[in-house]
Amino acid sequence: MNMENRWFITGFVDEPIPDSIDLIQEINRLKKEKNAFILAHYYQVDEIQDIADVVGDSLALAQQATKIEADLIVMCGVHFMAETVKILNPNKKVLLPDLHAGCSLADSCPYDDFKRFVEAHPDHKVISYVNTSAAVKTLTDVVVTSSNARQIVESFPADQKLIFAPDRNLGNYINSVTGRNMLLWDGACHVHEQFSLEKIVELKLKYPQSLILAHPECQRVVLNVADFIGSTLALLNFSKESEATQFIVATESGIIHEMRKASPHKEFIPAPPIDSTCGCNDCNFMKLNTLKKLYLCLKHEYPFIEVEEDVRKKAEIPIRKMLEISK
Ligand code: 13P
Ligand code: SF4
């Protein structure tokens, strides 16, 4: 079996790295040598966030992806994020340190099932969260992220029937704040569904001055007790601007790294999942990317993302529409 076939199975380059190698120095050297640009989502491990050229939420990363001049792009996030970068940069090589970094939410909306659903509602426009496969985006009128979902839903006339996929929690939340009655696909993120209301209330009793920050992918019971609801970037900005000094954070715990960096004098307490031993809620997919895998993927320019050209062209349309509305 050749190397690339082996790595295709593992999902990453599994070459041994000598202990003497300074990974940060080597990543920076390879970045320069290969004219590469590193994007990272806030849910990545701290070391990756620290070495990235840009760290952002899903919208900021998609916006940044339209401005990159480098020849090689590494998307430190999950597969749909790297796919979005590739769709916007068809002539560049786009790397993802671990090809198995998927997304339970994207997986909850398989193309064939969603196609049947869309075809059964021909009078509906289709709004899909960016957390979907490129194939699902080809069935979509406009893509949204958690940052701009409300704005994009409100850009449709009030009487326009809408399908919203795949996150039922985000869809329910947008229905509640816009007064719409969008038809929701029944999908969810296994990380955000896991937050325990009971444990959040216990934390609030322990830290009565704290504010509860929640991502709209959380269940309604959690959103009901939140002081602020928003995308990862919106939660970060709120924590910077708020006069409060203690926050219970109900989203993937990676965001707490940027929160602590921006406000070192404030306290950030990760909201725990129902069943936890560590007290925080990590996305196992996001955490598949490591500094070692980032180094090896830059070195070998593998694994890279491929999207069939006809799919790419169709999927680009609703992504560009989103970017246009969100300017
Ligand atoms: P945002 O980046 O829009 O906050 O979404 C979070 C998320 O679940 C990414 O997978
Ligand atoms: Fe997907 Fe949830 Fe992980 Fe985000 S946190 S990548 S939505 S599984």
Domain ranges of the chain: 3-101+286-309, 105-188, 195-270
Same fold, 105-188 and 195-270: yes
pLDDT digits (tens, 9 = 90+) for 235-250: 999 999 999 999 999 9
| pLDDT at position 4 | 72
pLDDT digits (tens, 9 = 90+) for 13-34: 889 999 999 999 999 999 999 9
**Class of the CATH-defined domain 195-270:** alpha beta
* Banded model confidence at residue 275, pLDDT cuts 50, 70, 90: confident
**Atom 1 of ligand 2, residue of closest alpha carbon:** 103
| pLDDT at position 281 | 87
Tell me, which fold does domain 3-101+286-309 have in CATH?
A: Rossmann fold (3.40.50)
Q: Which two tokens stand for residue 231?
A: 């995308």
Residue 279 zone, left/alpha/beta (φ > 0; ψ -120 to 50; rest): left
| pLDDT at position 43 | 98
Output the pTM of the full model.
0.96
**CB-based burial of residue 23 (10 Å sphere; 0-12 exposed, 13-18 middle, 19+ buried)?**
middle
**Atom 3 of ligand 2, residue of closest alpha carbon:** 283
Q: Is residue 303 reached through a cis peptide bond, with omega within 30 degrees of 0 on the bond before it?
A: yes
What is the mean predicted confidence (pLDDT) over 230-235?
Answer: 97
- Distance, in Å, from the CA atom of 26 to the CA atom of 3, rounded to the nearest integer, reads 22
| pLDDT at position 280 | 67
Instruction: Looking at the CA of residue 192, tell me the nearest atom of ligand 1.
Output: 8
Question: Which residues lie with the beta carbon below 6 Å from any ligand 1 atom?
Answer: 57-58, 131, 145-147, 189, 217, 231-232
- Distance, in Å, from the CA atom of 173 to the CA atom of 183, rounded to the nearest integer, reads 13
How high is the mean pLDDT of the chain? 96
Instruction: Looking at the CA of residue 131, tell me the nearest atom of ligand 1.
Output: 10
Q: Measured at the alpha carbon of residue 310, what is the angle toward residues 308 and 313, in degrees to the nearest 5? A: 105
What is the mean predicted confidence (pLDDT) over 214-218?
Answer: 97
**Atom 4 of ligand 2, residue of closest alpha carbon:** 103
C-alpha of residue 104 to centroid of ligand 1, in Å: 12
Share of the chain above pLDDT 90, in %: 92
**Class of the CATH-defined domain 105-188:** alpha beta
What is the mean predicted confidence (pLDDT) over 88-109?
Answer: 97
* Banded model confidence at residue 215, pLDDT cuts 50, 70, 90: very high
What is the mean predicted confidence (pLDDT) over 97-114?
Answer: 97
pLDDT at 130 over 90: yes
Which ligand lies nearest to the CA atom of residue 252 in the structure? 2
Q: Which of 45, 280, 283 to mutate to test the pocket of ligand 2 (most atoms within 8 A of CB)?
A: 283
- Distance, in Å, from the CA atom of 137 to the CA atom of 114, rounded to the nearest integer, reads 10
Q: Which of 103, 218, 235, 284 to mutate to test the pocket of ligand 2 (most atoms within 8 A of CB)?
A: 103
pLDDT digits (tens, 9 = 90+) for 60-74: 999 999 999 999 999
